[in-house]
Structure 1
Amino acid sequence: MGSNILETEGLSKKYAGVLRVNDLDIRIKEGEVYGFLGPNGAGKSTTMKMLLGLVKPSTGTISIFGKPFIEKNRIEILNEMGSLIESPSYYGHLSGKENMEIVRKLLDVPKSNIDEAIKIVRMENQMNKKVRYYSLGMKQRLGIAMALAGFPKLLILDEPTNGLDPAGIEEIRELIKALPQKYGMTVMISSHILSEIDQVASSIGIINHGELIFQERKEALENERKPYITIRTSDMEKTCNVLNIQKPKGNFSELNLGILSDEAIGKAIYTLNNHNIMIYRIEEHRRSLEDIFLELTGKELTL
C-alpha cells in the first residue's frame, strides 16, 4: 500500500452555527478502497463536498496528492479526481451518448476513455436512449461512467449503489473492488449500509454526528472477528460438566465453546459421544461488524 493520497487535519464545517462535520483527520492511502460509513445526516456528503472544493471548510486543512488543496492547486488536483455526489448530473433531453460526449469535451479525454467507462458500467446498449427515460439505476450507472471518464487517480463516490437492484449492486461492488488493481485508482466510497462497506473496502472510516469515531484498515477488524463455536446437545448441564465449561446463568439452549481448532472440536465431539450425550447441532459463528463497532466505539450506529 502506498503513501497517503488524501489527508485532512481538523476538518470542520458549521452551518448556521451548528457543527455538521467536526475535526476530521481522514487518511486515505494510495491504491485502497476507503469505505466512509455513517447514518444518513452524519456528515458524509458534506465531507466529500469539501474534499472536492464544492463546500468551503469552516476550519481545517485538506491535502490531496501531497499538495495542499488551496486555490492555486485546485484545478491541478481536481483534474486527477472523479466524483459522483448525491445524484448524477445530466441533461435529460439528451441521450446517454450525448451526455458522455459533453463530459469527454469538458475533460478533454480520448473517445476510447468514454467507450471504456461505458463498458465498465455495462451501459453499451442504453446509450442512444434519452436519459430522462432511464431508470434510477441506469442514471446511477451513467453517473459512475461520467466519474470514471477521466480515469482519475482518486475517485469519490457518494452512495453509488443508490437505486440499483441487487444484481446491479453486486456488479458495482465488483467494479469498485477491481478499480485499484486494474486502473490504478484510489476509491473513497460512502454508504449508510454497513454490509455494503464491509464487502468492498480495504479501510473503513465511520462518521457519526459529524465526528470520525473509527478509522482503521479492515484487517484490524478481521482479527476481532475470529469464528467461535456453539453447541446444542441432549443434556446441556452434563455437557458443561464433561467439557469443564462453566454453566451459564439461567436457562440456556446452547453453549459457546469459544474459538476452537478443528482438532479441539473433534476431541469435544469424541468426549461427548463417550458420555452418551447426543449432539443436536454444532455451529460456527462470526461476530458481526456492527457488534465490533459498538464495542470499539461505545456508540450505536443507527443504520
Structure 2
Amino acid sequence: MKLKFPGALVAVGVFCGSSQANAAGCGGVTIASMNWQSAELESAVDKVILQEGYDCQVNMVIGDTVPTITSMVDKGKPDIVSEGAIALLPVIVQRGLDEKKIVKGAKTIQEGAVYGWYIPKYVADAHPEIKTIPDALKHPELFPDPENPGKGAIYNGPQGWGMTVNTAQLFKAYNAASDGFRVVDTGSAAGLDGSIAKAYERKQGWLGVYWSPTSLLGKYKMVRLEAGVPVDEAEWKRCTTVASCPDPKPTAWPVGQLYTLVAKPFADHASPDVMKYLDTRTFKTADLQAIMVWMTDNQATGEDGAKRFLKEKQDVWTKWVTPAAAEKIKASL
C-alpha cells in the first residue's frame, strides 16, 4: 500500500522523541506515518487519540514499510507503526517478534489488504483471455512502455515499499524481460497513482502493482490478475520478499494481514490503557474507504480525515478507549 516505500532515509535515521512513558499515559511517542493514504489516515487517528485522550507527546515521522519496520526491530524506533504489512516483510517481522524487539497489536484493517498486479477493467473487458499474469505477459503491445516503443511496461512502487521488492522479484520469477517487458520505477506513491490516472484518461493499457482498500481503486476500476499458480508461503518468505534473493519462483500474493506494531521498549513502559487501545483499535475496510474517498475528493490530509472519522464514527472508536479518554477526545474535536 503507499508498504508508501521517499521518506525511507527519514524513517531509518531520524526518529526523535522519548519512548519512556509515564504511569498516566505514554509520555513521548513516535508514530510512523507511512506515505500511502490508509496508513496516513490510521496514524493520524492514533495521534489524536493518544495525544488528546492519553496526554501523550506525539511526534509523527515519515516512514516506509521496509526501512521503518527494520528500524523498529534493530533500533527500537519508531514506537508505533499503525499499519504494518507483515506479509511483505515476514523474515524481519518474525525476527523482531522472536527476539522480543517488537510486539504485535490489533489488526489494523479487519479484512486485511489485497495486493497484486492489476490492469484496467476496460482492457480486461476487451481482452477476456487475459486473466493471469502469464496471460498478460504474452501481450506487451497492450501495456506499452512510454519510453521504449515496442516494449511493455510493468509499473512498480517507489523504493522502500514491500510491494516494490515483491514486484521486482516476481518480474524475475516470471522472466518478464524475455517477454519484452521492463519495470518502470514510478518514484513515489503519487507517481504510481498518476500513472494509473493518466492511462485511464487516455484509455491506454496499464499493468502494475497496486492494492486494496484504496480510494484510487474506488475511482478507477481495475482488475487484479491471478498469479497462474497458488500461494507458496515458503517461496514467498524465502525469496519473493528478499530483494537480494537471486532465484525467485512464481507465487500468488498472500492476503496481506495488517497489524499495529509496537516497539518493545515503548510497550514495556506505556500504561495498560494505552496498550489496551493499541491491542483493540481496528478499522473496517468500508469505514476507511469512505473517508479515503472523501480525502481524495477534497484534497484533504490524513489529519483532516482523522477528524472526520472521529466525528462521524464515535460509535466505533469509543469502544477502543476508556470513558475518560473518550470524553477528552470528543472535547478536542
Structure label with greater radius of gyration: 1
TM over 0.5: no
TM-score (norm 1): 0.28
Structure 1 or 2: more helix by fraction: 2
**Higher relative contact order (Cα pairs below 8 Å, separated by 6+ residues):** 2
Structure 1 or 2: more strand by fraction: 1
TM-score (norm 2): 0.26
